[in-house]
Amino acid sequence: QQPVQSPQAVILREGEDAVINCSSSKALYSVHWYRQKHGEAPVFLMILLKGGEQKGHEKISASFNEKKQQSSLYLTASQLSYSGTYFCGTAPQNRDDKIIFGKGTRLHILP
Amino acid sequence: DAGITQSPRHKVTETGTPVTLRCHQTENHRYMYWYRQDPGHGLRLIHYSYGVKDTDKGEVSDGYSVSRSKTEDFLLTLESATSSQTSVYFCAIRERDQPQHFGDGTRLSIL
């Protein structure tokens, strides 16, 4: 079942913060976050496996709620290089190898 | 970078012809995936493999078949290509509880 991402698109000025959400109607096994720039392959950002988990990578961090149905990606003090489309991929509890992606969130950073 | 190669990178063909896309890995990863990417739809799972000769359907498997006779190769076949299968196709590989690594994609146009 495809996860729901929100918002669909965001426009920010450099230095502003953004939050991208990913939700499922059922408990998940894992959540994967990727960024894709136009004409390129998706690039891995983060994977979350445990309920209540929070992870950080420089100014990009993510959380996975206790029920394992929702994840959020946090982009702090955004940089021009953060522009792109962000995808969350989710694996269900009963099939942890079957990774389905949301439709993506387009992020555009203005100078 | 993960050792994953997609071939061909670009292909133009006619409706009704058979087409085979190849994904080759040098990482000995267990799981391999085929996604298609179209504007507004994100990445949609076509088929995936969880071992040699072990495959399963994804979200949009109609019109596609796959084969994995050895660990390193995962083939995607369009038996009789249709214009609706014009897309960018991505292969991905991974190990359990690890991120997916994507190939550079194959741009397929069916006229």
Chain segment B72-99, per-residue pLDDT in tens: 999 999 999 999 999 999 999 999 999 9
The predicted pLDDT at position B2 comes to 64
Please state, in angstroms and rounded to a whole number, the distance separating the CA atoms of residues A106 and B4. 26
Inter-chain CB proximity B58 and A97 less than 8 Å: no
The predicted pLDDT at position B40 comes to 85
Residues 6+ apart with CB under 8 A from A53: A63, A64
The predicted pLDDT at position A95 comes to 87
**Of the ranges A56-60, A67-71, B32-36, which one carries the lowest mean pLDDT score?**
A56-60
Give me the residue from B44, B99, B104 closest to A41, CB to CB.
B104
Give me the residue from A49, A97, A102 closest to B31, CB to CB.
A97
